[in-house]
Structure 1
Amino acid sequence: MIKLVVTDLDGTFLNNQGSFDIELFNQVYKEMQKKGITFVACTGKQCERVEKLFGEHGKGMWILGDSAAKIKKDGEVIREFTIHRELAQKSIELIDSFDPDMTIIACTSDAAYIRTSISDELFTVVKGSYEKVVKIDSFKQMDSDFIKITVYDPEGRSTDLRKHVENTLLGQIYIVDSEPRWLDITSYNTHKGETVKKLQEMLGVTYDETMSFGDGENDVELMSIAKYSFAVSNACENTKKAASFITKSNEENGVLLTIQKMIDLQE
């Protein structure tokens, strides 16, 4: 019996325009609630951005946002997993030593911070995933612990950047190049798989009662926490290999249609 459904958003649940079929979602979500199935969005997006994306349609859903460094439900922060300020600042220094013009998004519990020098074009990219954004002259001005650090690189060098940072900080942080243009840094052992495990414990749900969906390199761990793990057909090869099943693409409502079929099968 499925009791928990966890899905990545970008490239998995959301289509290539960053939206979803609201009518179909409402239909499937209503059935999930009727069956007592918990729905979870597990994403690199800021929790507040996810709240705005779903609006009133997402009432009651759980959000594992900011690359699963924050757990939130119905506007309430349940848990956060932070990177100590000194370690976060060291990470930023290493990113700058690779390329000082990288677009760095430094997230705390209250906002995502970016440099004031960011171009309008790149600011638009940032706003696609972050609702609460603050411009700052220098990240050294930040005096609190961090939730995560994200880097956007239009040149697609995230794998090289990851290796550069790992040369110094391997074993002290969790770092993943989710795709060629995006890289995420969170506290050590904080990633989608581990955060979902914590949520499973909180809800009293088992591996056998969980279904998950993903597409990117940062979804590989998401495939290991669910008996019914699905990679969308547009997923990267590593996620497909880690998944138990392959379903339709993000452009074909693969997630919602699969949930619907699984509910029908349970009946």
Structure 2
Amino acid sequence: MIKLVVTDLDGTFLNNKGTFDTELFKQVYADMQKQNIAFAACTGKQCERVEKLFAEHGKGIWILGDSAAKIKKDGKLIKEFTIDNNLAQKSISIIQQFDPEITIIACTSEAAYVLTAINDELFNIVKHSYEKVIKMDSFHQIESNFIKITVFDPESRSSELRKYIEITLLEQIYIVDSEPKWLDITALHTHKGETVKTLQSMLGVTFEETMSFGDGENDVELMNIAKYSFAVRNACENTKKAASFITKSNEENGVLLTIQQLMDLQKTDV
């Protein structure tokens, strides 16, 4: 019996417009609740952005947001994994050495921060994933520990940047170039797979009782924590190789339709 469903959002659960079929979701989620199956959104998006995305449909949903560095449910922070401020500042310094003009998003428990010089186009891109964004003159104004650091590079150099950072900080941070234009830095050993394992432990759910969905390079870990792992048809090759199954694309409601089929199969056992 499946007791936990975990899905990535962008490119997986969400369509290419960044939305989802709310009517179908209400039907499927109601059925999941009847069968006592937990639903978790595991994403690079800020938790508060996910809360706004699901709005009134999100009651009871687990949010593993900010690149799985935070766990929230019904507006309450359950757990977070932080990067020491000094290590985060060192990471930012190395990124700026790579390219002083690159877009850096520094995230703490309170908000996401960008530099004041960011242009409107880039700021709107940031706002797509972050609900609370504050502009500041220098990241050194941040005194608390960080949740994560995200880099957006229109020139698609995330793989090159990752290698550049690893020269100095390998084994001190977790770093993933999830897409050619996006790179995420979190605390060492903090990624989607490990955070889902934390949630599984909290809920008393096993690998065999978990279903997962993903599409990007940073979703390979999601394929490894569930017996029933699905890559959507539009997923990258590494995620498809790691998945147990391939389902319909994000544009075809692949996640919700697959869950719905599972619900029908499990009804006879409930």
SS, match of residue 95 in structure 1: helix
Match of 1:190 in 2: 190
Q: Secondary structure at the match of 1:109?
A: coil
Distance of 1:127 and 1:186 partners within structure 2: 20
| Corresponding position of 1:65 | 65
% identical aligned pairs: 78
Alignment map for 1:71-220 (pairs within 5 Å): 71-220=71-220
Aligned residue identity for 1:124: N
User: Tell me, what secondary structure is at the counterpart of 2:12?
Assistant: helix
- Normalising by structure 1, we get a TM-score of 1.00
- Displacement after TM superposition at 1:68 (Å): 0.2
Distance in 2 separating the partners of 1:95 and 1:5: 35
**Secondary structure in 2 aligned to 1:265?**
helix
* 1:197 Cα deviation after fit: 0.1
How far 1:263 sits from its partner (Å)?
1.0
Deviations 1:165-194 (A, max 9, x none): 001000000000000000000000000000
CA distance in 2, matches of 1:60, 1:162: 36
Q: Work out whether 1:239 is the aligned partner of 2:239.
A: yes
1:184 alignment partner AA: D
In 2, Cα distance between equivalents of 1:153 and 1:254? 29
Partner of 2:7: 7
State the one-letter code of the partner of 1:91: S
* C-alpha separation in 1, matches of 2:214 and 2:145: 29
Unaligned runs of 5+ in 1: none
Residue deviations 1:75-106 (CA, integer Å, cap 9, x gap)? 00000000000000010001001001111000
Deviations 1:28-51 (A, max 9, x none): 000000110000000000000000
The aligned amino acid for 1:153 is: D
| CA distance in 2 between partners of 1:236 and 1:67 (Å) | 18
Shift of residue 266, structure 1, vs aligned partner: 1.5
How far apart in 2 are the matches of 1:6 and 1:208?
13
> TM-score, normalised to structure 2's length?
0.98
TM-superposed CA distance for 1:141, in Å, is: 1.0
Measured in 2, the distance between the counterparts of 1:247 and 1:98 equals 39
- C-alpha displacement of 1:265: 1.3
Aligned partners of 1:214, 1:94: CA distance in 2, in Å?
30
Residue 255 of structure 1 is matched in structure 2 by 255
CA distance in structure 1 between the partners assigned to 2:236 and 2:102 by the alignment: 24
> Residues of 1 paired with 2:237 and 2:129: CA distance?
24
Report the Cα distance in structure 2 between the residues aligned to 1:17 and 1:154, rounded to whole angstroms: 19
Task: Give the unaligned 5+ runs of structure 2.
Answer: none
Q: Which amino acid aligns with 1:219?
A: D
Report the equivalent of 1:53.
Answer: 53
Question: Separation in 2 of the partners of 1:108 and 1:134?
Answer: 11
Structure 2: distance between partners of 1:156 and 1:33? 41
| 2:20 is equivalent to residue 35 of structure 1 | no
Between the aligned partners of 1:140 and 1:102, the Cα distance in structure 2 is 17
AA aligned opposite 1:131: E
The DSSP-based 3-state class of the residue aligned with 1:149 is strand
Separation (CA, whole Å) in 1 of partners of 2:143 and 2:192 = 26
AA at the equivalent of 1:144 = S
Listed one character per residue, the Cα deviations across residues 129-165 of structure 1 (whole Å, up to 9, x for unaligned) are 0001110000011111000000001111000000000
Determine the C-alpha separation between the residues in 2 that align with 1:239 and 1:249. Answer: 13
Give the whole-Å Cα distance in 2 for the aligned partners of 1:18 and 1:108: 24
Q: Distance in 2 between the 1:51 and 1:141 partners?
A: 27
Displaced runs of 4+ in structure 1, greater than 2 A?
Answer: none
Alignment partner of 1:257: what SS? Answer: helix
Matched residues in 1 for 2:264 and 2:26: separation?
A: 16
Amino acid at match of 2:137: D
Count of matched residue pairs: 267
State the alpha-carbon separation in 2 of the partners of residues 85 and 120 from structure 1.
Answer: 28
Q: Which amino acid aligns with 1:130?
A: Y
